[in-house]
Amino acid sequence: MKTIKILSAICLMGIMTLFINSCSKTDTVNATGSTTNTGANLVTIQSMQFQPATITVAIGSIITWTNMDTQAHTVTSDDGTSFDSGNINPQGTFSFTVTQLGSYPYHCSIHPTMHGTVQVVTK
């Protein structure tokens, strides 16, 4: 019975991931590896990287990070005050609404070699 519950939970997570990915629009990646966001504001944490490393969004947007790695990560602003997800477990998410224009570099506090940037622009 416990095995069936575990398998059901794994299947549900897979279906949810497929649904989220199929409902989002595509980002356009430029030559520097940053994106101009044309749809959902999604960042994937995978292979010890934030993908895309730089995301550009309009003020008031919600950005969602999804941890696809097998270990926990964080999304922590370099200034230490703008945003901090705490630990995001595997398959977990963190969402943040951007309310001020600017550039917000961030990192994983567990794995300090992981870096990303949120660029917030006017609509």
Q: The domain spanning residue 32 has which CATH number?
A: 2.60.40.420
Mean pLDDT over 41-68 rounds to 97
pLDDT tens, 69-98? 999 999 999 999 999 999 999 999 999 999
Backbone phi and psi for residue 9, each to the nearest 5 degrees, phi listed first: -65, -40
Sorting pLDDT into bands at 50, 70 and 90, what band is 123? Answer: confident
**Residue 24 clears pLDDT 80, i.e. is over it:** no
Sheet of 34-36, strand order: 28-29, 34-36, 54-58, 115-121, 102-107, 76-77
> Quick one: pLDDT at residue 1?
57
> Quick one: pLDDT at residue 106?
98
For the chain, the domain total comes to: 1
Question: Of 123 and 105, which is predicted with more confidence?
Answer: 105
**Residue 25 clears pLDDT 60, i.e. is over it:** no
**Residue 6 clears pLDDT 90, i.e. is over it:** no
> Quick one: pLDDT at residue 40?
82
Which domain covers residue 67, as residue numbers? 2-121
Q: CA nearest 25: which of 12, 14, 35?
A: 35
Q: What is the DSSP letter of 69?
A: S
84 neighbors 77 (Cβ within 8 angstroms): yes
